[in-house]
């Protein structure tokens, strides 16, 4: 498998781990009655700050995966994989792995710096796919 697609699959697995890290405490804190419902109204209990941050990190990862996935798939399908695009892909993965705990523990400005790195390498991959 090309390295960019390997990284895409690994990033998806990071998303799975992030989901589990969020879902377990959210179910405990909100109660299964709410989490298994249609969620038509706000919960009567509140999540802890860390659990809520994990939920936002998970949502952010979905957003990041969309752009990275486009970049990885275009690079692969157009046979443009290079050492440069491979390096960018691995930096993206490292940034996403670091982003989850940085967000969960409220590290700032570290979380934002990590996000910019991941977003920046994704943009560079998209630009590389054009040439």
Short-list 72, 76, 18, 73, CA closest to 50: 18
Cα end-to-end distance, the chain, whole Å: 22
Q: Which fold has domain 3-39+48-130?
A: 1.20.120
Q: Quick: pLDDT tens for 82-98.
A: 999 999 999 999 999 99
Q: Is 79 left (phi over 0), alpha (psi -120 to 50) or beta?
A: left
Distance CA(45)–CA(43), nearest Å, equals 5
Residues 6 or more apart in contact with residue 93 via CB below 8 angstroms = 7, 10, 11, 14
Mean pLDDT, residues 116-131 taken together: 97
Domain ranges within the chain, ordered by starting residue: 3-39+48-130
- For 46-90, write each residue's pLDDT tens digit: 899 999 999 999 999 999 999 999 999 999 999 999 999 999 999
Residue 36: per-residue pLDDT? 76
- Name the more confident of 50 and 43: 50
């Amino acid at each position: 498998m090309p390295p960019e697609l390997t990284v895409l699959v690994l990033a998806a697995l990071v998303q799975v781990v992030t989901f589990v890290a969020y879902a377990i405490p959210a179910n405990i804190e909100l109660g299964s009655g709410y989490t298994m419902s249609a969620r038509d109204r706000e919960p009567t209990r509140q999540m802890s700050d860390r659990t809520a941050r994990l939920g936002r990190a998970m949502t952010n990862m979905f957003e990041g995966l969309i752009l990275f996935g486009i970049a990885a798939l275009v690079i692969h399908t157009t046979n443009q994989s290079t050492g440069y695009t491979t390096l960018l892909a691995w930096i993206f993965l490292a940034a996403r792995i670091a982003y989850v705990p940085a967000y969960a523990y409220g590290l700032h400005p570290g979380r934002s710096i990590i996000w910019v790195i991941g977003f920046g390498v994704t943009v560079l991959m998209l630009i590389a796919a054009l040439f």
